[in-house]
Copies of this chain bind each other. A is one copy, B any other.
């Protein structure tokens, strides 16, 4: 990941509704959530939500697939990992001791064998 892509992803998340949508989808897992349900949960008009979903999708943070009359959106975990990896890699450049606590956070959250 390069700076322009990172800026695009950060910009996509730098909005209350979009960050809420992203969190919702990350929690929802691979199955995803239909656009209409997202709109109700977040409390935004369907057309406005559609704009936000497009932005998140173009940033590589979510995916979509049509399912009947609705479109299910789901988190793009690869994209999310790229962004977090970019920030983590950046944070570690030069001084590993500084981001060691980060590894602990990840450790506490997703215990490794």
A44 within 8 A of B: no
Judged by a CB distance under 8 angstroms, whether A71 is at the interface is no
Of A19-27, A32-40, A62-70, which stretch is located at the interface?
A19-27
For residue A105, give the distance in angstroms from its CB to the closest CB of chain B: 5
Per a CB cutoff under 8 Å, which of B94, B99, B111 touches A106? B99
Copies of this chain, tallied across the complex: 2
Q: Is the beta-carbon distance between B105 and A23 smaller than 8 angstroms?
A: no
Residue in chain B with minimal CB distance to A95: B29
Q: Establish whether residues B112 and A96, one from each chain, have CB atoms under 8 Å apart when the complex forms.
A: no
**A binding-site residues for B, Cβ under 8 Å:** 3-4, 6-7, 10-11, 13-16, 19-20, 23, 26-27, 29, 77, 80-81, 84-85, 87-107, 109-112
